[in-house]
Amino acid sequence: MGVLERFRNSRTTSVAIVFSMLLIDYLLLFAIVPVIPAFLWKHHQKSLNISVEISCNKSTNDPSLFAFNVTLPPNHNSATEKSESQKLCNQNMEKAYLKTQSVKIAAIIAAKPAVQVIANLLMGPLIDRIGYSVPMFFGVIVICTTATTFGLGQSYVALLVSAAIQGIGSACAMAGGMAMLMRKYTEDEERGKVIGISLGAIGIGAIAGPPYGSVMNAFAGKATTFLLLGGIIAAIGIFQVFYSRLKIERKSESEKVTSLWKLLADPYIILAATSLMLVNIAFGIFNSGLPAWLIQRFNSPKWMLGLAFIPVCIGYAVTTNVLSFLPMRNMRWLVALVGTYMSVAACLSLPFSTSFAATIGPTLILGIGCGLIEVNIYPILAILVDTRHKSDYGSVYAIADISICLGFIIGPLLTGSLLQLISFSWVLWMLTIVLFLFAPFLVFLKKPIQGKPDQETESLLDGSVSAKNVEE
């Protein structure tokens, strides 16, 4: 019993639980990215119930179907020549089909954050009423169910519905986890560190998910890829039950703080949140469009698709860890500005890549730019709440989470809708223009106007009342 009590009283354990839940949640979301193209193509072949050889013989010379024509040799009695021709034709058919299915790919990626935005608005009041332990465990159940359905699902609708439901589990994990950390850690400096660690799991999961999904899917299969994640999140759920115990807590009304809607009316908070949204739009575009683009342009094998995201992971991880040791309180706006322009350079240069290896540079730069932005915007949001509102970090970080979700919604949907009209390169260049025009506005975060609007209004009212009493 003594060991169990020490386990339950350990604050470090709470950080480990929240970090693990968020990591598996985002690994699950982004592991599906490189799996979707292969799944859709395989499902398409089964639905047609036509052999690749027959399709090739009928459609090889149709220029409207393929990006380029494949002309079979006039005399292809050789089994080797026939096999190579069919293989090349199969690759062309796959490219053409994936280009037409970009909307389906984008819908699966955007379904989860779309639901999560709504769930985030509802989860905060619920946790205030019943506590964090039950919502967190419910989130574990939802995420585990999603992983199982991803692994065993054999239809597009099953994957789409599972991705949408995962948004509910993600909101429970995020809101419940942050509520638990805020109760365990009461000092501002401690809260800043544990929030940074927990939010770091989101970035790691979002960036490491595609390499994990592509490699595991190629060598172990789709079922193993996601059932493994489901087993891990189930173990975390058991761990969480022993730590916090499932109980409904009745809480008394706390001191009134600035509402989420009033924070959304603050132009400085909107500016900071917009920077998070734009950089995550870039990530959303990369995640939804890059795998198919690599197949179409470089004939990249499936196991390599997720590896294109490894430079992003390295750049992000190194940047966030190095900057955490540097004093930048008065330069955060400038570092975020530099990160935005680095993201501009990444989106501008990627379409000019001439080989798979050439994509390493732009993706690495994007990871560094994202790290520079996020590691500085989150502290800026806390400073804005401290200096301009009644201090409460839950609502402002809910806005940050919503901004990230919106980025992952807009990015894939933008790619899916525009890819039918323009190329993947032009989608990136359009985002480049938006980022370039937005970046100078970060200068306003250098010295935001201080003052607590609510308190100023109250003091003005008190002053007018006292002045009136004096006159009387």
- Asked whether 246 and 374 are in contact (CB, 8 A), the reply is no
Positions in the chain whose pLDDT score sits under 50: 50-73, 76, 454-472
- Asked whether 329 and 128 are in contact (CB, 8 A), the reply is no
Measured from the Cβ of residue 171, the count of other Cβ atoms closer than 10 Å reads: 27
> Is 235 exposed, middle or buried, given 0-12, 13-18 or 19+ CB atoms closer than 10 A?
middle
pTM for the predicted model, two decimal places: 0.68
For residue 470, give both structure tokens: 């004096």
**Four-way CATH pick for 9-250: 1.20.1250.20, 3.40.50.2000, 1.10.1660.10, 3.40.640.10:** 1.20.1250.20
d(CA 371, CA 352): 24
Query: Terminus-to-terminus CA distance in the chain, angstroms?
Result: 69
Give the pLDDT of residue 60: 46
Would you list the DSSP string of 177-206? HHHHHHHH--SHHHHHHHHHHHHHHHHHHH
What would the pLDDT profile of 187-208 be if each residue is shown by its tens digit?
656 665 776 677 677 767 877 7
Place of tokens 């917009």: 274
- Asked whether 158 and 39 are in contact (CB, 8 A), the reply is no
**Of 357, 369, 355, which Cα lies nearest the Cα of 280?**
369
Give the pLDDT of residue 240: 85
Would you list the DSSP string of 49-90? T--HHHHHHHHTT-TTTSSS--PPPS---SHHHHHHHHHHHH
What would the pLDDT profile of 308-328 be if each residue is shown by its tens digit?
777 887 787 777 767 666 666
Place of tokens 């770091």: 200
d(CA 444, CA 418): 32
d(CA 178, CA 135): 12
**For domain 257-452, is the CATH number 1.20.1250.20?**
yes
Would you list the DSSP string of 83-148? HHHHHHHHHHHHHHHHHHTHHHHHHHHHHHHHHHHHHHHHHHHHHHHH-SHHHHHHHHHHHHHHHH
d(CA 83, CA 69): 17
> Which helix (H) or strand (E) covers residue 153, if one does?
none
- Asked whether 358 and 311 are in contact (CB, 8 A), the reply is no
Place of tokens 């003005």: 460
Q: Start-end ranges of CATH 1.20.1250.20 in the chain?
A: 9-250, 257-452
Helices (H), ranges, 185-309 = 188-219, 222-244, 260-264, 267-298, 302-305
Measured from the Cβ of residue 45, the count of other Cβ atoms closer than 10 Å reads: 17
d(CA 464, CA 459): 9
